[in-house]
Structure 1
């Protein structure tokens, strides 16, 4: 996979963001990036040759004031971001993915999959689905499954479409990055454990979501979502303090320049705090873990247009920058 330099438009909210960068053909290193596209190499700034983004997150409460000071220090040596290659900002130990979490998206699915003998109008079916979604938000729990770190790739890397994936689809999402260990949190406590936010594209092969040989088993997320490179992540981790309201951000994906997804996180059935708190009821969240919060309406199945060789996806979330990935068909012998 080829790592592409960040485009000049990849800015973000706040005074700084965290990134994992490398010089051409050089090793990756943790960096502080400023909105004017300048880079501070953090191993030198922290005098720690083994420093990584995850180790910063493991000591987030102590690291954050130092990072804020570095961002304000005009005398600190800085280099142009254009000199570096951009990788996924963090290597998480655990990835949690929320499904069916956007109200309009789920309503669309409900209407699209009506029974053959359902003679009601579309308006009636939408009203029923809206009532179900409201009841679910009030009474039910988020739907979360587990992803593999090996599926992560950089925000400008090529995405290889496996030869077996018949219907590869996009799912742009807001992702929360954990900064403090968390277990059995309440929703009121959850955001205190989020260090920052980034962008994820949770690619899915629609043909393998359900097992054909044993449909009674249900969903097969291993096969459908975890091919190498199926989770482009980044470009940055923007600290939570720079994100005014994670429940009011615009999630936009363009395919070859055409807008396919464009929805606010206000449409989430379960907001970020409720998703993080729900995950923590079962799993112990660790610094650097990534929690994906679901994808809005406008996936390829909605448009009847799936990913193919040469497609370019451009994803943005308000204040978090831009990721841009090109699809490449897997070479077969």
Structure 2
């Protein structure tokens, strides 16, 4: 099941974006989508039946000029976007997730997760959280952990809420898509390894974040973030050259029409370049991999309202389009 997108294609920056689409009953294929909602099947245009978006990204420096030319070539056969199903735009091999990267978001979480016996006034605890964030920024210490590709789903697919998830929450995020392998790259060169950007909603079961049986071992990201479908992705990959400043984009998430998150990437503690560089110091980032850059203030813990059966989330980021997903309770036998 899936929730249908808005009747008109959501606008994105630049003349084209990459997508993974399928016709009814047909296989998924890599597509170039134009700003006016037309589709070029890249298997046909580039004469490669085995082509995927990830394979395109593996040759990104050479592929990008060809995509620019295809977007301008009126003689290339084109379909209409409304005729196709939109899938997650890429199947990543690795998903790097950033925690505690929006200042106001972390302060809100710090207040919401009051420790037992902590009776201090809220303003005192907010001041403590702000001091922690300032110290992290001064010490230049991002926080990155790994997610599973199997959690990725399409931008209009239903999200199944597991029966065991007590506090499922939303987290709208800007995702950088890697286009060149990156290992040990400096901040100054990190964006050269980013092919483009897309939208991710990094769902989290707040009740499962911390291990209750063994609090000394800390967080359990496997359990809390990696249920199937917990990372709606897309709809498009917008080339980095079409995104003027990833540090100045507006993220908006609405729940059943009510605005919950509305913030700029300016509130990031560590920018995209720093997050890519930091992840690359430990791991080798590969074409098609995702670097999620954290979520702004306004999650369910802040509002005291978590996700439940029937909820519809509309998420958008400046220049990257929009996604719509519906929450469906898991049916257990």
TM-score of the aligned structures, taking structure 2 as reference length: 0.96
Once the two structures are TM-superposed, the CA of residue 136 in structure 1 deviates from its matched residue by 1.4
Structure 2: runs of 5+ lacking an equivalent: none
* Cross-structure match for 1:318: 318
CA offsets 1:71-104 (integer angstroms, 9 cap, x no match): 1112211111001000000000000000110011
- 2: CA distance between counterparts of 1:167 and 1:118? 23
Name the count of aligned residue pairs. 332
Tell whether the 8 Å contact from 1:177 to 1:198 is kept in structure 2 after alignment: yes
For the pair 1:305 / 2:311, whether they are aligned, the reply is: no
Equivalent positions of 1:218-233 (< 5 A) are 218-233=218-233
* Cross-structure match for 2:194: 194
Tell whether the 8 Å contact from 1:179 to 1:288 is kept in structure 2 after alignment: yes
* Cross-structure match for 2:72: 72
Once the two structures are TM-superposed, the CA of residue 135 in structure 1 deviates from its matched residue by 2.5
SS in 1 for 2:63: helix
* Cross-structure match for 2:40: 40
> 1:111 and 1:3, CA in 2 relative to 1: closer, same or farther beyond 3 A?
closer
Larger mean CA deviation between 92-101 and 113-122 belongs to 113-122
Equivalent positions of 1:23-102 (< 5 A) are 23-102=23-102
Tell whether the 8 Å contact from 1:185 to 1:280 is kept in structure 2 after alignment: yes
Structure 1: runs of 5+ lacking an equivalent: none
Equivalent positions of 1:92-241 (< 5 A) are 92-113=92-113, 116=117, 119=120, 122=123, 124-241=124-241
- 1: CA distance between counterparts of 2:226 and 2:330? 15
* Cross-structure match for 2:255: 255
> 1:47 and 1:258, CA in 2 relative to 1: closer, same or farther beyond 3 A?
same
Larger mean CA deviation between 127-136 and 159-168 belongs to 127-136
- 1: CA distance between counterparts of 2:126 and 2:48? 57
Once the two structures are TM-superposed, the CA of residue 120 in structure 1 deviates from its matched residue by 5.4
Once the two structures are TM-superposed, the CA of residue 121 in structure 1 deviates from its matched residue by 6.5
- 1: CA distance between counterparts of 2:176 and 2:332? 36
Tell whether the 8 Å contact from 2:112 to 2:302 is kept in structure 1 after alignment: no
SS in 2 for 1:150: helix
- 1: CA distance between counterparts of 2:233 and 2:60? 20
CA offsets 1:1-31 (integer angstroms, 9 cap, x no match): 4474564141200000000000011100000
- 1: CA distance between counterparts of 2:122 and 2:4? 48
SS in 2 for 1:173: strand
CA offsets 1:104-139 (integer angstroms, 9 cap, x no match): 1112233445565665571x5444433332221121
> 1:110 and 1:319, CA in 2 relative to 1: closer, same or farther beyond 3 A?
same
Once the two structures are TM-superposed, the CA of residue 212 in structure 1 deviates from its matched residue by 1.6
SS in 1 for 2:75: coil
- 2: CA distance between counterparts of 1:266 and 1:11? 22
SS in 2 for 1:197: strand
- 1: CA distance between counterparts of 2:91 and 2:122? 48
TM-score of the aligned structures, taking structure 1 as reference length: 0.96
Larger mean CA deviation between 60-69 and 204-213 belongs to 204-213
> 1:319 and 1:147, CA in 2 relative to 1: closer, same or farther beyond 3 A?
same
Once the two structures are TM-superposed, the CA of residue 201 in structure 1 deviates from its matched residue by 0.4
Larger mean CA deviation between 182-191 and 112-121 belongs to 112-121
